[in-house]
A and B are shown apart, each in its own frame.
Chain A
Amino acid sequence: MALLADLVQNTLDGVALGASYALLGIGFTLIFGVLRRANLAYGPALMLGAYAAAWASLSFHAGLLVLAGIAVAASIVAGAYVERLCFAPHRKGAAAAAMVASFALWMQLEEVAMLAMPRHLYAFPALYEGGPLEIGPFVVRVDALLTLLAAVAVCALLWAILYRTRFGLAVRAVIDDSRAAGLAGIDVPKIFMLVFALASAIGGLAGFLIAASHEQVTPMLGMWSTLKGMLAMMLGGLGSLPGAVLGGLALGLIEAHAHWFLGPQLRDFLVYLLLFALLALRPPWMAGARHG
């Protein structure tokens, strides 16, 4: 009975954890799907957004909604900088150059954050002040619930943009075949830039929600977000948005259970082992890994 209770509680925790992974995965996948490039500076850009919000909170005690706006805006600015310097110049080929350039900017953004705010850790206002919800013997954190809600809202909005607007049609055309889309008169570089901005905005929102749930920001948020976003995308089968959401939730569930039963080191080991095995075995839903 105790085991069953643990399993249920872990599952609840896993879904909560997975909601933020799903958000990170969506942003990462948007960029990867359109550009076919891994943006290593994705996490550091949203970390900079969270730092900007933390600074605003310290300086003039801005409200949560204002902070969310600042995090999103700063992430878009940082994302646009990354896109101009790392991805716009390397449209064709040079995948290694684009990825290494985005790593170089990762280092740069991290140092900017640490120079602007040199303490290792800054407090961030809590997303929700009250205690957790209690459902029978189980507890659910309200901030996790809000993050899940945000993830669902972002998915719905993204679906509406992709399938109900002309811009979305253009984006899908570029994902299918960017050369053909260009020949059909779509301004492909512009689509790349707008998608990057959209992904950065989602990243900024994710960074805000994560910082407000943990009630703190550290420079580690950058690397952590890039890794989790990439893992969510990979587990979800590379390049599909619903896949990224499922991948994020799966990552959260695996981590929560493994953490409880095996401890933190084996939890991380298991996640990497799973990723490695998925890449090596390439089950049908990982179709993206066959070519590329």
Chain B
Amino acid sequence: MDEYALGVLTNIGLVSFVALSAYLLLIAGELSFGQQAFFGVGAYAAGMATAMLGLPLPVAVLISMILGAAAAALVALPTLRLRGLYFAMATLAAAEMFRILFELLHWQIEVGGERVGPDGTQGFRGIRWVFERGVEPDAFLAIVWLLLGLVLLLFLVMERSRLGATLRALGDDPGLAGALGIDVERFKLGVVAASGALAALGGALYAHHNTYIEPRNFDIMLGVHSLAYALIGGLGTALGPLLGAVLDIGVLEASRFLHGYRMIVFGGLVALLLVFRPRGLLDERTVRWLRARFS
């Protein structure tokens, strides 16, 4: 596989984690403009853990997921009762605060005769754990997609379980879900925390793939893109967000003849697609139809 294809496939995998975290909230009936913040928390936490504290990557990933979940819960706690656009605005405001905190974060230490650590808007370079251990790009790609596959499997199992039904009930009608005995606020808090951990997992891998991160990697553009991927791909199955990412990054960005016009094509296609399929390509009805057909 050439380097370019490797890069595209890795990027699709990495972005899919954030898109899946947005999807998880969408099926629970919440719109978040702030998933990029937890992706950023994961990236910074994991980068600091390996490059500054010398921890192994798996431990760093675990720490970053815990911190991602904690950060998401922190944002959600005061905003649990907000719905729709108001929750979306609150998450956007929180995410921008996180981005500014990354800009204000200056903490560098001497590691092997080199100053390593986040340096505000100058970014954080030298997150080289993966490269120092001789992990080749194709091996890293395999790790990313293996983890993504694992997450997707979890989603598919979850969606067929009682938990999945509760999640969709909450998304359809929170009042009714509450009347049926679901502790709506506690459940929502759990969902938000899980989505934060998921985004942080993607961020941790992203930092180690790029070796360099800076605050503007985690601005609103990433958040809205992941929301768009989930919605284009479809809200019927966890494969939807992946499909959305493949369509944008894999097909449109990779087609060189579209160079310079990509956003015009992508933007128009998304808007048109949503006119005919407001819940995406693989929406609930399509997924039910496919299941009846092939099982």
Contact = CB atoms under 8 A, between A and B. Distances in A.
B53 interface: no
Nearest to A281: B78
Contacts of A281: 78
A276 B228 contact: no
A275 B93 contact: yes
A281 B231 CA distance: 30
B97 A276 contact: yes
A254 B260 CA distance: 39
A111 B231 contact: no
A292 B271 contact: no
Contacts of A292: 83-86
Interface string B253-270: 000000011111011111
B86 A101 contact: no
Interface residues of A, number: 45
A279 B89 CA distance: 8
A265 B216 CA distance: 13
B227 interface: yes
A241 B278 CA distance: 30
Given A272-B100, A289-B82, A103 B268 contact: no
Interface in A86-106: 86, 89-90, 93-106
Interface in A258-288: 265-266, 268-269, 272-273, 275-276, 279-281
A276 to B, nearest CB: 4
Interface residues of chain B: helix, strand, loop or mixed (majority): helix
Interface residues of chain A: helix, strand, loop or mixed (majority): helix
Nearest to B101: A269
A269 B100 contact: yes
A279 B270 contact: no
A165 interface: no
24 contacts: A85-B271, A85-B275, A89-B275, A95-B84, A95-B85, A96-B26, A97-B274, A98-B274, A99-B85, A102-B271, A103-B228, A104-B269, A107-B266, A108-B264, A234-B89, A268-B96, A268-B100, A269-B100, A269-B101, A272-B96, A272-B100, A275-B89, A280-B79, A292-B84
Interface of B: 26, 31, 78-79, 82-86, 88-90, 93-94, 96-97, 100-101, 103-104, 220, 224, 227-228, 231-232, 260-264, 266-272, 274-275, 278-279
Given A108-B268, A265-B103, A272-B94, 10 more contacts: A89-B274, A96-B26, A97-B231, A100-B270, A104-B266, A105-B267, A279-B79, A280-B79, A280-B82, A292-B84
